[in-house]
Amino acid sequence: MRYRELGRTGWKVSEISFGAWAIGSMWGRVDDNESLAALHRAVDLGVNFFDTADVYGMGHSERLIARLRKERLETIYVATKAGRRLSPHTADGYNRQNLKQFIEDSLRNLETDCLDLVQLHCPTTEVYYRPEVFGALDDLTKEGKIRYYGVSVERVEEALKAIEFPGVQSIQIIFNMFRTRPAELFFPEAQRRRVGILARVPLASGLLAGKMTSQSSFGTDDHRNFNRHGERFDVGETFSGVDFETGLAAVEELRELVPPGATMAQFALRWILMFEAVTCAIPGAKRPSQVEDNAGAADLPPLTDAQMAKARGVYDQYIRELVHQRW
């Protein structure tokens, strides 16, 4: 495993980290023993950063990570999120009182006195124009409830606005071979301000692992079934907002670029690591074999200019028109 500095935190986090949404909820059937085995395997392989949220299985994902922490001696950084338990999910809900309550709940779930990193969980755009929200997070930092805070964003423009607040240490944003716009304006600005970047949905919900076909089916409790068209939350979170059949066609072209001995998932993750502004990718994983595959991406040599150019060509041909200006 290799490590990169996360913004101004002084932490060195694993280039391939762990996304813990799937082990909490909304990804079909999961088994806690298998999820825990995946978490442990990640630590075995040098992963030291885990991304979760209070809403993933209503604390279930956080509680599994708390168990992992108790069972391991290694340093483990946990980034959680707050805000998505609001119903309705409004800007007004991001008030001091609610944030405090969400953070108390996460402290309990994670069995700790101080949260390492709390991210606002894709708040509505209005929240970025309410400095009092960030003021409340500053106060929670001073009170010792949270060590650092950041924001998980939907859009590039929200990311650019969020990093104007000096306390923001990290931005979590969708970035993968099917979602490249963050690299244009946002990455240089985040680097200039020394803000960490967590690349989420790095495998486009598994599509970029190259294992799916038009016959693939997903359980009724899997968002790849029920949110394909944005029925429950932003469609960009499911297959990265790419129409499934178009994504499959693009994957067939990308497959030819995978270096010998590497898997398609490793290639997709290595592509992300080619961008030095990125702190880490946080692929979701449900079982140890996926963790092993994903962690292996950090050991691949850099991709060549020709591979990068061809990947760009596939994006331009199949994906750009569908997603580029939408997020």
Ligand X SMILES: NC(=O)c1ccc[n+]([C@@H]2O[C@H](COP(=O)([O-])OP(=O)(O)OC[C@H]3O[C@@H](n4cnc5c(N)ncnc54)[C@H](OP(=O)(O)O)[C@@H]3O)[C@@H](O)[C@H]2O)c1
We find the least distance from the C-beta atom of residue 153 to ligand X, in angstroms, to be 8
**What type of residue is 306?**
A
**Nearest CB to ligand X, comparing residues 19 and 57:** 19
3-class DSSP string for 192-242:
HCCCEEEEECCCHHHHHHCCCCCCCCCCCCEHHHHCCCCCCCCHHHCHHHC
**H or E element, residue 109:** helix 96-109
Give yes or no for a contact between 88 and 98, defined as CB atoms under 8 angstroms apart: no
Answer whether 297's CB lies under 8 Å from 269's CB.
Answer: yes
Among 216, 220, 214, 233, CA closest to 154: 233
Give the nearest distance from C-beta 289 to ligand X in angstroms. 8
Residues composing the chain: 327
d(CA 143, CA 302): 43
CA distance 170 to 184: 18
Q: Which two tokens stand for residue 254?
A: 């990308």
Nearest Cα neighbor of 151 from 227, 63, 238, 51 is 51
Q: State the residues that interact with ligand X by CB under 6 A.
A: 19-22, 27, 51, 81, 121-122, 152, 172, 200-206, 209, 211, 237, 265, 282-286, 290, 293-294
Which 3 state secondary structure label does DSSP give 20?
A: coil
Active site residue 149: no
Neighbours of 273 (CB within 10 A): 21
Closest to ligand X by CB, 144 vs 214, is 214
CB neighbours (10 Å) of residue 53?
27
Least separation, in Å, of the C-beta of 166 and ligand X? 22
User: Which candidate in 3, 56, 77, 94 is catalytic?
Assistant: 56
Q: Smallest distance, Å, CB 286 to ligand X?
A: 5
Active site residues: 56
